[in-house]
Amino acid sequence: MFPMVTGFINYGQQSVRATRYIGQSFIITLSHANRLPITIQYPYEKLITSERFRGRIHFEFDKCIACEVCVRVCPIDLPVVDWKLETEIRKKCLLNYSIDFGICIFCGNCIEYCPTNCLSMTEEYELSTYDRHELNYNQIALGRLPMSVIDDPTIKNFKNF
Ligand code: SF4
Ligand code: SF4
């Protein structure tokens, strides 16, 4: 008699526990259903980058003194600084400047150490291309100001990073 009663009690306890677990999982499911999605419908929606986002580098040709500090501090000696010495004024004259974004790791060292602040990081992150050679930006491409994501007329919704 007693084993049967004990069996019934155990069965009842297990049923209560199982019901409680089902209830808890149901509450978790409901709480997730109430949240907004984390993912966005890129490229129809875009994220607004954070203030210190490390995007494509912007370069100001007129401010550069061809000191090559950016090359020395770059972990992969990436920036190409092409200059000639003007003997009359005993000064370096910058001819060309380029950075290959196919190799750049966006560490920001060049920006940090440039003595004339002619380098800065923009919020531009859409750099993909079909030809990797197009990622080698010269001073003209580097000098282009980025378009703010907020000014992009094709984008409907924005979210912060
Ligand atoms: S550190 Fe700045 S000023 Fe010097 S070469 Fe590089 S970009 Fe030009
Ligand atoms: S961001 Fe870093 S890797 Fe890229 S050019 Fe500057 S120092 Fe070199």
pLDDT in tens, the chain (161 residues): 678 888 889 999 999 999 999 999 999 999 888 888 888 888 888 878 888 899 999 999 999 999 999 999 999 999 999 999 998 888 999 999 999 999 999 999 999 999 999 999 998 999 999 999 999 999 999 999 987 767 776 666 556 55
Question: Which helix (H) or strand (E) is 24 found in, with range?
Answer: helix 2-33
The Cβ of residue 92 has, within 10 Å, a number of other Cβ atoms equal to: 16
For residue 118, say whether it is annotated as part of any ligand binding site: no
Q: Quick one: pLDDT at residue 51? A: 85
Provide the token pair at 132. 């990797």
Q: Do residues 146 and 59 make contact, with C-beta atoms less than 8 angstroms apart?
A: no
Between the CA of 81 and the centroid of ligand 2 the distance, in Å, is 13
Domain 45-160 fold is: Alpha-Beta Plaits (3.30.70)
118 lines ligand 1 (CB under 6 A): yes
57 lines ligand 1 (CB under 6 A): no
